[in-house]
């Protein structure tokens, strides 16, 4: 496969809805600020000389000054500082065909963004603003941490998976670890890899869904969930399925086409975490938003799919007796690692004996100690997955074996850095960590202890 950079520096990436103080630019809603002109998202840059350049198309101005700042934010922080400042007369910029640039010496280990604010009133107007950057980062620092963790955290027989005295750890003794490669043909609890996406079984699922190959972990998550449920005999007429955080995903429509009775859920309107999902079209409020006509006709969908708002942190007690349940990268957004682990226990409790729970989430590939916790997105570690597996097993459930096969293809070693691409997106840089999608599958036991 060919890996090419497909990155774009979006001038209004941080606050896409906010109108710009230069007429004709920015968003059309949200809060207004009389001095705001633009603010890109934070992106990964190389260390050393980096040049941001921009062009205001069709700029017209007779007065006003623009202060441009390059903001720097360390990988492990959400606090930023100003790395470079310059002030431009908008009349001079207009005389240069709207073009300008800022150069700085960027420090390693930092994301950067560029922003502009007015210093004084202006009558400036433009038809568009484009930004470019000479100095994209390649994620080398993130990759180095991942490769080190691959040897120390995720290697077969590593010290992480064993007691300090060198004997098998509880997860080894419980038979919860498998050293076999992760496959879609025989799915277990596993992470996303390029090898799986090249399997005939993976391509067969794409054919069923009417999709082409898309080298993106979100596509893998859907295929993985389908593969687990098919292998466990859950995709049959009359089977009852419960989906969490469904957004606008294709799974409810596919399940309905197989004759399953589906209750799809999503975060209730008004929830404090909802704004980001609404802005990106990843939230649903009715079954119509879940309908994929290419997978299921309207009549079958209406007959087999229902919708209900559900807070995954406060699951209603009447949701019981389902044959299977699923979620695709949702439970890492519940506020903490503890909240996410608690959700998995509660989701399994919603199943009948022998029912199957399959969920995907974020797995930290850089460390088994340091991670992101108590934030809107958290990163689960190997230790968190193994603790969860042991707890579920102790409660009488069966966890499909944990496979730490991280893949060895070029795409498995490629780190997608902000701003994220629409392809080549299996491993990504999030703060100072590398993460990928990890799926865990659980069969509810006949008697819960």
Whose tokens are 């062009």? That residue is: 55
Query: What is the separation, in whole angstroms, between the first and last Cα of the chain?
Result: 48
CA distances for 413 relative to 193, 210, 221, 434, angstroms: 10, 28, 19, 11
pLDDT of residue 279: 43
Mean pLDDT of 116-139: 93
Enumerate the H helices of 117-216 as residue ranges.
140-152, 170-173, 194-197, 200-209
Separation of alpha carbons 98 and 116, rounded Å: 14
Torsion region of 368: left, alpha or beta (phi above 0 gives left; psi -120 to 50 gives alpha):
alpha
Domain boundaries, the chain: 36-134, 140-245+312-443
Q: Which of 112-121, 178-187, 285-294 has the lowest mean pLDDT?
A: 285-294
Strand-pairing partners, residue 429, are: 434
**Residue 288 per-residue DSSP state:** G
Among 161-170, 177-186, 392-401, where is mean pLDDT lowest?
A: 161-170
Distances (CA, A) of 398 to 222, 356, 393, 443, 448: 22, 10, 6, 5, 11
* Nearest-10 crossing angle of helices 200-209, 217-231: 100
Query: Strand (E) positions, 90-152?
Result: 99-106, 110-118, 128-134
Is the model more confident about 303 or about 288?
Answer: 303
383 closest CA partner among 320, 331, 341, 353: 341
Band of residue 258 on the pLDDT scale cut at 50, 70, 90? very high
Q: What is the CATH number of domain 36-134?
A: 2.60.40
pLDDT digits (tens, 9 = 90+) for 347-374: 999 999 999 999 999 999 999 999 999 9
- Predicted local confidence at residue 133, as pLDDT: 93
pTM: 0.82
- The mean pLDDT of the chain is 90
pLDDT value at residue 283: 45
pLDDT confidence of residue 166? 56
Give the tens place of pLDDT for each residue, 11-68. Answer: 999 898 899 999 999 998 766 789 999 999 998 898 899 999 999 999 999 999 999 9
> What tokens were used for 380?
């689960």
Q: At what angle do helices 382-394 and 337-349 cross, to 10 degrees?
A: 30
**What angle is formed at CA 373 by the lines to CA 368 and CA 377, rounded to 5 degrees?**
110
Q: Which residue has the higher pLDDT, 283 or 378?
A: 378
CB-count exposure of residue 294 (10 Å: 0-12, 13-18, 19+): exposed
> What tokens does 85 get?
């400042």
Q: What sign results for the dihedral spanned by CA atoms 388, 393, 398, 399? A: positive
In this predicted structure, the answer to whether residue 165 has a pLDDT above a threshold of 50 is: no
Show the CA angle centred on residue 322, arms to residues 310 and 354, nearest 5°: 135
CB within 8 A of 291, min separation 6: which ones? 253, 298, 301, 305
């Amino acid at each position: 496969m060919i890996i090419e950079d497909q990155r774009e520096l979006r001038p209004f990436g941080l606050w896409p809805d906010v109108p710009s103080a230069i007429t004709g630019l920015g968003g059309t809603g949200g809060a207004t600020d009389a001095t705001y002109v633009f603010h890109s998202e934070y992106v990964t840059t190389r260390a050393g000389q980096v040049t941001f350049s921009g062009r205001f198309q069709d700029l017209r101005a007779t007065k006003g000054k623009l202060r441009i700042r390059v903001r720097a934010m360390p990988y492990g922080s959400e606090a930023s500082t100003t790395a470079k400042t310059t002030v431009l007369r908008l009349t001079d910029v207009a005389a240069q065909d709207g073009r300008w640039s800022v150069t700085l010496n960027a420090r390693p280990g930092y994301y950067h963004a560029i922003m502009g604010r007015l210093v004084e009133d202006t009558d400036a107007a433009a038809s568009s603003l484009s930004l470019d950057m000479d100095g994209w980062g390649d994620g080398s620092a993130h990759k180095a941490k991942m490769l080190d963790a691959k040897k120390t955290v995720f290697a077969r027989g590593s010290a992480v998976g064993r007691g300090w005295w060198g004997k098998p750890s509880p997860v080894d003794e419980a038979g919860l670890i498998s050293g076999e490669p992760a496959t879609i043909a025989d799915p277990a609890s596993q992470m996303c890899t390029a090898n799986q996406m090249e399997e005939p079984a993976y391509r067969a699922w794409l054919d069923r869904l009417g999709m082409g190959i898309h080298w993106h972990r979100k596509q893998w998550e859907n295929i993985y969930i389908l593969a687990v449920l098919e292998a466990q005999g859950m995709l049959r007429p009359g089977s009852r399925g419960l989906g969490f955080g469904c957004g606008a995903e294709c799974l409810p429509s596919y399940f309905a086409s197989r004759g399953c009775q589906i209750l799809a859920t999503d975060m209730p309107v008004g929830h404090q975490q909802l704004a980001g999902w609404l802005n990106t079209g990843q939230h649903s409020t009715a079954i119509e938003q879940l309908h994929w006509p290419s997978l299921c006709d309207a009549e079958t969908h209406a007959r087999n799919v229902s919708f209900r708002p559900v807070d995954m942190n406060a699951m209603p007690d009447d949701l019981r007796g389902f044959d299977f349940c699923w979620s695709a990268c949702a439970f890492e957004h519940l506020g903490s690692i503890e909240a996410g682990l608690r959700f998995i226990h509660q989701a399994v409790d919603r199943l009948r004996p022998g029912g199957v729970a399959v969920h995907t989430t974020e797995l930290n590939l850089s460390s088994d100690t340091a991670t992101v916790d108590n934030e809107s997105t958290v990163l689960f570690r190997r230790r968190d997955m193994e603790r969860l597996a042991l707890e579920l097993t102790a409660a009488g459930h069966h966890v499909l074996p944990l496979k730490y096969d991280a893949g060895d293809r070029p795409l498995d070693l490629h780190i997608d850095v902000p701003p994220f691409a629409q392809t080549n997106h299996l491993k990504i840089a999030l703060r100072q960590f590398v993460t990928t999608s990890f799926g865990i599958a659980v069969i509810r036991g006949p008697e819960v202890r």
